[in-house]
Structure 1
Amino acid sequence: MTSNQRGLDPRTQKAWVSAIEKENQLRLKWFTKNMDRLNRIANKENTRKVPQEVKDKFDNDLVESYKNVQRFPKIKVDDAPLIEPKAMQGIMKPVDPAVTKLIYTGENKDGRLNYLHERVKLLPDDRYYFPEVSSFEYGWKTWNYAKNIKKTGFGRQQIVKESFYRRRGVERDPEWYKEPAGYTPTVCNG
């Protein structure tokens, strides 16, 4: 077989075909030889029957296990927040008056930019009554639950930060380090 040829050449194809046909003939021969035995096994009645007393005992135990299960009261995480009457008309919560004054305190359009910069610092949970767009749904009201989460020993850690960066910041050069001498009138270059 040459290197630029794809697939099998006709001789190897014939060998594969004959091997597959031979295997099919052997399977068919085995099946016809054992057909009576296979029919007996397939049509045999089930001799393993569970007695009715065992079934009743299992049912009673199952019912008793459900009756005796330990029940815990439902824990209220947070009471439902009160909905303001204005919430029925608007999507956003009312803006703090101090932030609203920023609109009118800037020169030209600076007030508008200052207002937007302050407004964007709030989480969407604090700006809107409900998730307005689908991207808000991910993480909506999760800050209430994040306070109770414990750190695991198997979570991701900041290995590079701890091993590479210095905790004390940039340090002074060591005492033995000196600037290389430059060419000046007082230094010989010879």
Structure 2
Amino acid sequence: MPLIDITNPEIIKFLVESYDKTARLRMKWNNLYGDKLQEAATLQRKETGYTTYDVFKADMIGGMPAITRDHITAGYNRKRVPIRDGTFIPGTAHLRKGHSIVDVGLGDPKEDPRLVRPDTDTTIDPVMRVVDPEQSKVIYKDKPVFGRIVYLKQRSKLAPEQKYYFRECSGWDYGWRLKDSFFSKGRPVYGRVWRLNRDVKSRSGPQPDPPYYKNPDIPASNKCPE
């Protein structure tokens, strides 16, 4: 919305009339309710002369008994020998014990010498597995039989768990380590399995996913363990 032109005589006349109207309304309100406003603003109780310092002082004096009581209790507790609940406190040297790639069975130090590290070494574990030297030679040979494209084709034929220790993107969530899953046991070697068609025609019909397929519930006040 554009601003009004205050140099216009008609606008000036309108503003003057508006200011006069507002002033008359204020004067009328003061004439009607001036007595009540004066009564509400007058102190009705006896003045005691308290200052802000007096109010703070009263609060401090009221809390002195609690300070004295806590000081006696603290002095008694300082003389007692503390109970050590934790008999063993792990340090930096224990961070990797039982949690390294070798301990969980994901890698072999004979294949990847980078995994042979002391427990005090807290650097990040290697992300990618060691590339086969025979595949690495493909990059440095002449085209078109060898080269980068041939190398990438050979690498694409490998499963992701054969190239990396852990999942590096969300696209690997489905299909990661399928050989370790329940559905890989007893599956046919050749041909396709129409799982949905087979389940629909079965006697019990399609079944939901097993409970262990779901994400774990986060403990909260409304979910108490049984």
TM range (shorter): 0.3 to 0.5
Per the normalisation by structure 2, the TM-score is: 0.29
Per the normalisation by structure 1, the TM-score is: 0.32
Larger relative contact order (Cα-Cα within 8 Å, sequence gap ≥ 6): 1
